[in-house]
Structure 1
Amino acid sequence: MQTDRMRTELVSEPSSPGLPNEDFASVGLAASGQGGALVLLDGVTPPRGASGCRHSVPWFTAHLGGALTDLTVSLLDVPLTEALSRAIAATADAHAVTCDLSHPRTPQATVVLARWSPEAVEYLVLSDSALLLESPDGTVTARLDDRLARLPRSALASAARVDAELRNKEGGFFTAAADPAVAARAVTGVLPRGEVRALATLTDGAARWVETFGEGDWADCFRVVRKQGARWLVDRVRELERADTGRRFLGRAKTHDDATVVYAEL
């Protein structure tokens, strides 16, 4: 998409053809033409077994993402934490009668929000998707919620332990599920508009280029997306996944994950 003020690129691919994509991404432009917002969600795939909910993860990310797109673009004076809180509450209301929203595996997602105006760039990151910001001098800064990455791998070996002790728990990590209060746990910030030239955001399926395969750092990743495109990055991740037949890099992780990249020149 291109206007007189900005250019955006969005690529999203499911883990395998024929499977639903549990990611959600959108870019909304303010009606005034001055500013806009970006929403990125990575739905959490539950393990086999009960989740307390009759709805799928794509249903959840579509509802939460749609609400966030509306709120971040239409209510420019509402802080991003408040927008996320309202969107979680609205999504919960949509299935509270039919589903057990207290279940630890009720549908949930990671969240990245960015909103820009002529004066400022606001951002919010919750869980393990990544936001990259480029300054006018070319410096790239990663804004991350690294609480999940800081946990010892041994603590994550059992899904039951994760659900009982770590998921949406103090000392663990947080995702957007059914509790609006989780919005206050997000990593947030505001920068002067003149300090951000472009931004990119990636779900962890695309961020494997950095985090799993070590093809470069976050600055390298941003430059690849800018110069070669979001499609190239996702295709390269797929090549690396297919080549890792000995599981040297992937280990116990699934071979492919939903992969989404959004790039915006402001």
Structure 2
Amino acid sequence: MTKKLGDFTGLAENYSKFRPAYSPFILDALLGITNKPVEDIDYVDVGAGTGIWTRMVALRGLNSATAVEPNDDMRSFGIKDSEATSINWVKGDGETTNLPNNSADILTMASSFHWVDFDKGIAEFSRVLRDQGIFCALWNPRLLEANPLLVEIEQTLYEMAPHIKRVSSGRATFTDTLLNNLNDCEQFSDVLYLEGRHVVQQTPEEYIGVWWSVNDIRVQAGEQCFADFMKYVEAKVVDLPFIETTYQTRAWAAKVNK
């Protein structure tokens, strides 16, 4: 499978089945800083993927929830996974959401803002949000240091493909400057950083499935190198009852200036 950076076509099934949820405490905090009763909130998730975070938010009983996703494969799995909800799915992206002006109270991008042109995305989110609306970008990276096995596997990856630079991790260069970049843009203010950790016990199948859903590493490593790495991972974990993974949900929230 020859892939382009940021193209999740063919990865959606593993993404849908194996990607873990985000910290519920981050969601509590996000809803808590919104100046509206939860049942009155109109919510938009841009770059929703298969809707993992979208469903977490929507199930809190909001007035409405809309998922915007550009990739047909990811969106089709998202629609299927969200059949029991009232989430409305729309084709669009972070620069062109295809949503009306002043139509959302909260707009999020979960594990996807790094794929968007910052200035164009910020302008689009400002257009869609209502007065006092909140934009939140969040990621759900692993806290590798919490498990020596994960550190060893990650080190082996970089030994096999030393040229790799993480694009989509919430602990990458993009997030290092995000607080300052949001503070410096005229469309948003009152920037807040939030962090919540949660532990997930993954079966070997689940742990391996998360790796197979990754785009940036696979593209940069190349198909043969990534396949060799996955053989190593499978051999490393196949006989374990579970892999304990600590996830570190990191979120940057800001209020729109209207």
* Structure with the bigger percentage of helix: 2
TM-score (norm 2): 0.30
TM-score, length of structure 1 as denominator length = 0.29
